[in-house]
Amino acid sequence: MMEPASFDTEESFDVDDASCLSQQNPGNNSPAKRQNKEIKETKITINCVTFPLPSVTPDQPEQQLLKPNEWSYCDYFWTDKKDPQGTPSVGGFEVLLQKQLKGKQMQKEMAEFVRERIKIEDEYCKNLSKLSQSPLAAQEEGTLGEAWAQLKRSCHDEAEVHLKFSNKLQCEVEKPLLTFRDNFKKELKKYDHHIIDLRKQLASRYAGVEKARKALADRQKDLEVKTQQLDIKHMNKHEEDIKKARRKSTQAGDDLMHNVDLYNRAQSKWFEEMVTTSLELERLEVERVEMIRQNLRQYTTLRHETDMFNQSTVEPVDQLLQNVDPAKDRELWVQEHKTGELRPVDMDI
């Protein structure tokens, strides 16, 4: 993870630094420029956030992940993401927020899917119930007629099973999906606004550092010019100008140190809130996934129960079908509908 680094305040000047400037040419060998050169070799600022460059020497250790081997949000979303379309870059925290909002949308679409399944179950229940009242083949008789009547009753029983399944889907699966964190989007916006405010403060502090750095460079240059003039003309007026320039340079150095300190504090605050909030988003995502998993498991449980109850509705039909006896049916029918047992015989002459 590229943990944001702090600006090094040692590059700023104190009174002793300014005194040195009066004794030597503050050119490329000045402490400030040597320090700046060192910073440029070890740190880089991207969108107002300071990062360490990859180590180039064995004695400079690499940063360690905050949560190794966990692929935690707090380790992988520090830099801004460049948009391939050329639009302004997106902050790492914004990427995390979009992930959460997408998860919320997926959860809503899952609830819509369950709602469609409930509609299908309701329609199926209605049609089965209607079919069970059909007069078709109602005049079938005997053991086969009994089996047929039971089959029609099983349609009604199955309709009741699917009605219960539909009701349980609504109460135990769809409703929890819809109501889980109703204000989730509002909560995410609070996190977003907080991090954005801290990032704006960081940008403001960085602008202050750059302004102070430029002011120091200008004061250094002015002191350098006056010092060179002193080498040529040793006049009291020029000595007074050098003292004045030295005081301004010292003050500029102090201002830079102050602004760097403010920047580092702002970055530290942003860093801490990024870690805390990204871990919170990670926790919320785990809760969301676990909640959906439990609801989908409840769905499969209800399906298994429905299959079991459906099976129980056809078991009586199976039993009666096993008892269907064409011979018995013929006996019962003949006894009820026979027209006579005497058979024709030959006529006598």
pLDDT at 34: 46
What band does 311 get if pLDDT is binned at 50, 70 and 90? very high
What secondary structure letter does DSSP report for 90? B
Per-residue pLDDT, averaged over 213-222, amounts to 92
Residue that has been written with the tokens 């078709």 in this structure: 136
Task: Kindly indicate the confidence band of residue 315, based on its pLDDT and cuts at 50, 70 and 90.
Answer: very high
* Nearest Cα to Cα of residue 97 among 194, 180, 179, 2: 194
Look at residue 223 and tell me if it is in a domain: yes
pLDDT in the model for residue 14: 38
User: Domain holding 119: CATH number?
Assistant: 1.20.1270.60
Looking at residue 240, its pLDDT comes to 78
Residues of the domain holding 277: 94-323
pLDDT tier at 222 (50, 70, 90 boundaries)?
Answer: confident
Query: Could you give the number of structural domains in the chain?
Result: 1
Tell me the pLDDT of the chain averaged across its residues: 85
More confident residue, 300 or 241: 300
Higher pLDDT, 301 or 7: 301
Give a three-class secondary structure readout of 198-213.
HHHHHHHHHHHHHHHH
- The tens digit of pLDDT for each residue in 113-157 reads 999 999 999 999 999 999 999 999 999 999 999 999 999 999 999
Q: Is residue 131 part of a domain?
A: yes
List the one residue out of 280, 191, 245, 216 whose CA is nearest residue 22.
245
Does the residue 105 lie in any domain? yes
- Apex CA 319: angle with CA 318 and CA 321, to 5°? 65
Q: What pLDDT score does 292 carry?
A: 95
Residue 43 lies in a domain: no
Q: What percent of the chain has pLDDT over 90?
A: 65
Contact criterion met (CB below 8 Å) for 168 and 195: no
Using pLDDT thresholds of 50, 70 and 90, give the confidence band for residue 27: very low
Kindly indicate the confidence band of residue 224, based on its pLDDT and cuts at 50, 70 and 90.
confident
Is 267 part of a structural domain of the chain? yes
Provide the token pair at 73.
């949000």
To the nearest 10°, report the CA torsion of 139, 140, 146, 149: -60
Q: Is the pLDDT of residue 31 over 70?
A: no
pLDDT greater at residue 32 or residue 159: 159
Mean of pLDDT values over 284-300: 95
Beta-bridge mates of residue 52: 43
Q: What is the pLDDT of residues 170-209, one digit of tens each?
A: 999 999 999 988 878 888 888 889 999 999 999 999 999 9
In this structure, of 3-7, 162-166, 283-287, 292-296, the range with the lowest mean pLDDT score is 3-7
Q: Supply the Cα-derived Rg of the chain in whole angstroms.
A: 43
Question: 46 in helix, strand or coil?
Answer: strand
CA–CA gap between residue 28 and residue 256 (Å, rounded): 19
Q: Please name every residue paired with 90 in a beta bridge, in sequence order, or none if there are none.
A: 81
Would residue 163 count as lying in a domain?
Answer: yes
Residue 276 covered by a domain: yes
Residue in the structure block whose two tokens are 């079991």: 308
- pLDDT score of 32: 46
Q: Which residue has the tokens 């905050």?
A: 66
Angle between helices 92-132 and 142-169 (to 10 degrees): 150
Side-chain-side CA neighbours of residue 326 (13 Å): 0
Has residue 61 been placed in a domain?
no
pLDDT at 105 over 50: yes
Segment 14-34 shows an average pLDDT of 36
